[in-house]
Structure 1
């Protein structure tokens, strides 16, 4: 999982990433037919990979590392007797912008992190390979099943630009409120069910000399992982869809927005955030949390792997589902869980077919389980971890995911308009949590920022129906 975040590679990114994609326009997502190598399509090579054709992979090396990708690349190399050039980096956008502009991008890219490429622009310009052939290819584990039948349906929904599926979100991130099960049990505290219970527990925690919450104040959009989903749970997906679609009054006319933002205003007013949180990076906030300086942390399921160097033995990392508010449209146990870690194949790369084949290899059960083992996170491959011995955080994430059933929340706003959510709204959220902005002002200003984007002809707009 924003699904993409600074130095993480999951859901959310600051606006600097948007400025790093000014690739030239081009044809549709079919690759450069004049130069791309093509091999014979067979039962074992359904996409028609050219044996011996080199492949270049550009992988974001953040909280998930890049060893899992290297492992898949090794299988590709052995199968197709081809050289694979691997680059692990946290500067995807700055390094690849000139290459897209020059017409020589790498074949497959894990487009994550603070400095990611703008996939909306790349898709509009025809720079992204249409991945329909990958979806319709037989899966590596069971040729009778297409790849599309082995992955979570939301993966296909989230990876579309219009009618074209051109982004594969490989990971499946569980977002929520993270905590130490050991700490809660040692203090006799129970994870709250409701927003009001959370406020009451925060009072007890503060009396015990511990800060109830901390967060990545330098990247306040981390709080949106919970805040946005909490609005969707209380108000319902229909009202959240209006927010995703930048509809007029979508923020100001939604009572769930008021409930949730006033909740955060109360947490700030009662000083329930660790002092100095507004100046912390994601790593620093996680470290403070691991050291017992704060009880709760808003984050995604990549946190277990990323914070491993500072997590003490027996910490009992766990995640809780969203809290109940008043008049909720969705039931208790509802969870924000959605595809993350966006992989793209360059349509004008030297070997786009090879890029798709690498993704097909990664979507095998073998490599989905390897990913879970290496980085303690789920993939979009359904039930890939069944029967595995899971780490505490991943086991907790899997448990709340199963308990949620069909009551899952997936949001698009941060994917479609990261400059809005991470820079503009993120700045307002930072002020809110610092006690410098009232809830009513946050809502009014957020609506104004959304309206600006809606009216800006230079911003490509997208629309969802549910």
Structure 2
């Protein structure tokens, strides 16, 4: 990846509520540099107004989709669009939960699929793929005419933050997301209104009071997937920002000394430690489908809150009562000394796609994603998975289910106070391995606040000192 001049503050300014929900009056997004993989071996056709990327019309296309919370029906819609546009091409879509297991060996062999939905627990480290020149640059796609309007480039139909999330320094954009993911404390509005007769807690004292009342009725205040304890970051991250401000988040992103030992980090860990100590947390759920097990317990009324992302509305639809009124809440303020206000939200573009550098049909892969960014495909994506697409204005005027509606309202309420953990993209192991391991012990009461902070800082220092890992530097 190398050093980068990505300015995190600029990304945050651009990823405002107005920009996420409508066409914003902001400057152009950061451009992606020329480069990426060598596409000389890839199939190439004749460029035209109808075929601006020069797709070879009879070239085979293979797409790998992560079969998780969104399953793969939304992708099949795009694959069918591709088949209709290029009827002479053999088009194959594969759905799997094991992206890295199935795709990584093919990248090494130089015989990869043409487009990969690089998501899920078995995700490939995009930073390493970039460093190893296994991922292609999206510049040609971003500068191509959009599907719906040839006068508008693809990059200009994407919500702010989408390009920046996949940009690695001056080397280019190697990953593009298709959804807006809203993280936070998910709950049933019906339970709060009718069972507990309380309002959503805006302070941590209120949160403890709600949990106490829930316990008196035989309901746990919280639950989480014990098999994937890293989900706790979905609730804790925005709280880190609220308590200590953006400087705390920047310290994490840039692997600064003592980044994980800030007083704000300590305060947030202590708040969640109180939930554990008072036995307000429903634990367990450590099997292969831990997240499904925890979500099912939650939708069936065993717990009030669960840390999750906006995919949960689709993923838990089979067990969610019709009158559940699924809602996302921002993390409560700790106290009056908080730097950022209640409503601060962790809401980045999500569900990434990468283009293998050695793809035989590189242009076809880009064309498939160009179709994905059409309003038709974006609206279908919303209908299939109840999640906000990364295409500006795609769902304007549509009827929204409760979870999506609450996500939209949370984004509007957050305004400029939207935060994104870039360290999750830049140094995947910090989240997938180290934070996961720490929270696994912490949420069981087997690790103290100090031990959790020390362990995370050691992990941060380990990566900072590793000469084999390229670092992202401040501009």
TM over 0.5: yes
Return the match for 2:437 from 410, 427, 431. 427
Return the match for 2:449 from 430, 439, 443. 439
2:419 matches 1:409: yes
- After TM superposition, the structure 1 stretch with the greater mean CA deviation from structure 2, 275-284 or 379-388, is 275-284
Return the match for 1:380 from 373, 376, 390. 390
2:174 matches 1:166: yes
Check the 8 A contact 1:167/1:342 in 2, yes or no.
Answer: yes
Q: CA deviation at 1:441?
A: 2.2
Q: Which residue of 2 aligns with 1:199?
A: 208
2:74 matches 1:61: no
Over 3 Å counting, the alpha-carbon distance change for 1:89 and 1:75 in structure 2 is same
Over 3 Å counting, the alpha-carbon distance change for 1:89 and 1:39 in structure 2 is same
Pairwise mapping of residues 22-101 of structure 1 onto structure 2 (< 5 A)? 29-33=36-40, 35-81=41-87, 82-101=89-108
Q: CA deviation at 1:418?
A: 2.6
SS of the aligned residue for 1:63 comes to coil
Q: Which residue of 1 aligns with 2:366?
A: 356
Q: Which residue of 1 aligns with 2:233?
A: 224
Check the 8 A contact 2:224/2:283 in 1, yes or no.
Answer: no
Q: What whole-Å deviation, never above 9, does each CA across 1:146-190 have from its counterpart, x for those lacking one?
A: 111111121111111222101011121000000001111102111
When the two structures are aligned, how many residues end up with a matched partner?
Answer: 437
Over 3 Å counting, the alpha-carbon distance change for 1:377 and 1:248 in structure 2 is same
Over 3 Å counting, the alpha-carbon distance change for 1:408 and 1:342 in structure 2 is same
Return the match for 2:188 from 180, 184, 187. 180
Structure 2: which 5+ runs fail to align?
A: 1-33
SS of the aligned residue for 2:74 comes to helix
2:371 matches 1:391: no
Q: CA deviation at 1:281?
A: 0.8
2:229 matches 1:251: no
Check the 8 A contact 1:278/1:430 in 2, yes or no.
Answer: no
Check the 8 A contact 1:212/1:294 in 2, yes or no.
Answer: yes
Check the 8 A contact 1:28/1:127 in 2, yes or no.
Answer: no
Check the 8 A contact 2:59/2:361 in 1, yes or no.
Answer: yes
Q: Which residue of 1 aligns with 2:281?
A: 273
Check the 8 A contact 1:244/1:464 in 2, yes or no.
Answer: no
Check the 8 A contact 2:184/2:345 in 1, yes or no.
Answer: yes
Q: CA deviation at 1:108?
A: 0.4
Check the 8 A contact 1:52/1:83 in 2, yes or no.
Answer: yes
Query: Aligned-residue CA RMSD in angstroms?
Result: 1.7
- Structure 2 distance, partners of 1:420, 1:411, is 11
- After TM superposition, the structure 1 stretch with the greater mean CA deviation from structure 2, 203-212 or 281-290, is 203-212
Check the 8 A contact 1:215/1:278 in 2, yes or no.
Answer: no
Over 3 Å counting, the alpha-carbon distance change for 1:87 and 1:359 in structure 2 is same
Q: Which TM-score applies when normalising by structure 2? A: 0.89
Q: Which residue of 1 aligns with 2:338?
A: 328
SS of the aligned residue for 2:158 comes to coil
Q: Which residue of 2 aligns with 1:339?
A: 349
